[in-house]
Amino acid sequence: MSDNERKYSLLGCKATWLVLLFLLAPALSTVGSRPGAVQPDDASWIFHSEAQGVKIYYKIGTCENRSVVFLKFSNTTKKKVELAWKEAYQTSQVPEELESYGQGKRLVLPPGDTSEDDCTQVGIKECITYSEKALPTFKADITRVNFKNVRVKPLE
């Protein structure tokens, strides 16, 4: 094989790889992402408050074209606790704060983090709130979350 033939062979090989990379780039960008994960505003958890060693965070996202709130609790104590709370929301449709429908939520938290950020495989139902469950009277686009009547009870 001459030097010219080798040069053109290598150029053809590089061009083939560039074309393949260009064609596969969109597919590769979704590797590792979960279809039910928060979309598109998954930047970070928003710190809300702390009560007796339990830090409360939330993030608002979209799952299957509906507004959803994901919750994260960080129990910084060394004991299991029961957390009780009521959620209230602000929406793009109604600027006033609206309390969620229902009695509120309860969750037993071991030390460490407890959270949910995937609407396709919900493991902890208390850590996810769909807008139509929280505010069933209209299709709400939730913009802010507030936690009311937060109570922490040590269990051990």
Residues 51 and 4 in one domain: no
Domain count, the chain: 2
| Domain-located, residue 130 | yes
Q: Which string of DSSP letters, residue by residue, matches 93-134? A: S--S-EEPSSS-EEEEE-SEEEE--BSSS-S-GGGEEEHHHH
Kindly write down the DSSP assignment for every residue of 37-100, as one continuous string.
B-BS--S-PEEEEEETTEEEEEEEEEETTEEEEEEEEEE-SSS-EEEEEEEEEEESS--S-EEP
Same domain, 18 and 62: no
- Picking from 84, 88, 62, 63, the residue whose alpha carbon sits closest to that of residue 73 is 84
Instruction: Report pLDDT for 50.
Output: 97
Clarify whether residues 69 and 143 are in a common domain. Answer: yes
Same domain, 135 and 99: yes
pLDDT at site 59: 95
Taking the C-alpha atoms of residue 126 and residue 128, their distance in angstroms, rounded to an integer, is: 6
Same domain, 81 and 14: no
The series of mean pLDDT values per 10 residues for the chain, 156 residues long, is: 60 47 39 39 80 96 89 96 95 88 91 90 90 83 93 92
Q: Please report whether residue 37 resides in a domain.
A: no
What pLDDT shows up at residue 4?
60
pLDDT the model gives residue 17: 41
Distances (CA, A) of 132 to 61, 69, 127: 14, 11, 15
Domain limits for position 22: 1-31
Q: Are residues 85 and 21 part of one domain?
A: no
Looking at the structure, tell me whether residues 64 and 26 fall in a common domain. no
In the prediction, which pLDDT does 21 show?
A: 33
Task: Establish if 104 belongs to a structural domain.
Answer: yes
Q: Is residue 92 part of a domain?
A: yes
24/83 same-domain check: no
Q: Tokens 């994960």, residue?
A: 37
**Residue 93 and residue 20 share a domain:** no
Interatomic CA distance for residues 49 and 66, integer angstroms: 26
In a domain, 39, yes or no: no
Q: Are residues 19 and 71 in the same domain?
A: no
Q: Are 148 and 87 in contact (CB under 8 A)?
A: yes
Q: Looking at the structure, do residues 139 and 63 belong to the same domain, yes or no?
A: yes
In whole angstroms, give the CA distance from residue 120 to residue 133.
16
Residue 91 and residue 67 share a domain: yes
pLDDT confidence of residue 101: 80
Token reading at 146: 């507030």
